[in-house]
Structure 1
Amino acid sequence: MHFVKVIRELSGLILTRGPKLCNFVEWRGLRVVYKRYASLYFCMCIDEDDNELEILEIIHHYVEVLDRYFGSVCELDLIYNFHKAYFILDELLLAGELQESGKKTVARLVSAQDSLVETAKEQASSISNIIAQATK
Structure 2
Amino acid sequence: MTMIKFLLMVNKQGQIRLSKYYEHIDLAKRASLEVDVIKGCLSRKKEECSFVEYKDYKLVYRQYASLFVMVGVSENENELAVYELVHNFVEVLDKYFSRVSELDIMFNLEKVHVILDEMILNGHIVETNKSRILAPLLVLDKMAES
Tell me if both proteins adopt one fold, taking TM over 0.5 as the criterion. Answer: yes
Could you report, residue by residue, the CA deviation over 1:61-85 in whole angstroms, capped at 9, with x for unpaired residues?
1000000011111111111111111
- Note closer, same or farther for the CA distance 1:109–1:9 as it changes in structure 2 (3 Å cut): same
| Letter of the 1:98 counterpart | I
Higher helix share: 1
Q: Matched residues, percent identical?
A: 34
Encode CA deviations 1:81-116: one digit per residue, 9 max, x unaligned: 111111100011112222112111122221012233
The separation in 1 between residues aligned to 2:74 and 2:41, in whole angstroms, is 18
Q: Give the letter aligned to residue 31 of structure 1.
A: K
Higher Rg: 1
Match of 1:4 in 2: 31
**Does the alignment pair 1:29 with 2:56?**
yes
Out of 49, 58, 70, which is 1:43 matched to? 70
The one-letter code matched in structure 2 to 1:68 is K
What's 2:137 paired with?
110
Cα drift, residue 10 of structure 1? 1.2
Q: Provide the rounded CA distance (Å) in 1 between the counterparts of 2:129 and 2:56.
A: 32
Cα RMSD (Å) of the superposition? Answer: 1.4
Give yes or no for the alignment of 1:72 onto 2:99: yes
* SS across alignment from 1:59: helix
**Count of aligned residue pairs for this structure pair:** 119
Letter of the 1:50 counterpart: E
Aligned partner (choices 25, 39, 43) of residue 16 of structure 1 = 43
Unaligned runs of 5+ in 2: 1-25
Match of 1:90 among 111, 117, 124: 117
Cα distance in 2 between the residues matched to 1:4 and 1:70: 30
When you count strand as a share of all residues, which structure comes out higher?
A: 2
1:102 and 1:30 map into 2 onto residues whose CA distance is 27
* CA–CA separation in structure 2 for the residues paired with 1:81 and 1:7: 22
Determine the C-alpha separation between the residues in 1 that align with 2:109 and 2:36.
22
Provide the C-alpha distance between the structure 2 equivalents of 1:11 and 1:25, rounded to a whole number of angstroms: 12
The letter for the 2-side match of 1:8 is V
Whole-angstrom distance in 2 between the partners of 1:4 and 1:118:
39
Tell me the amino acid that sits aligned with residue 95 of structure 2: R
Unaligned runs of 5+ in 1: 120-136
Query: Secondary structure of the equivalent of 1:100?
Result: coil
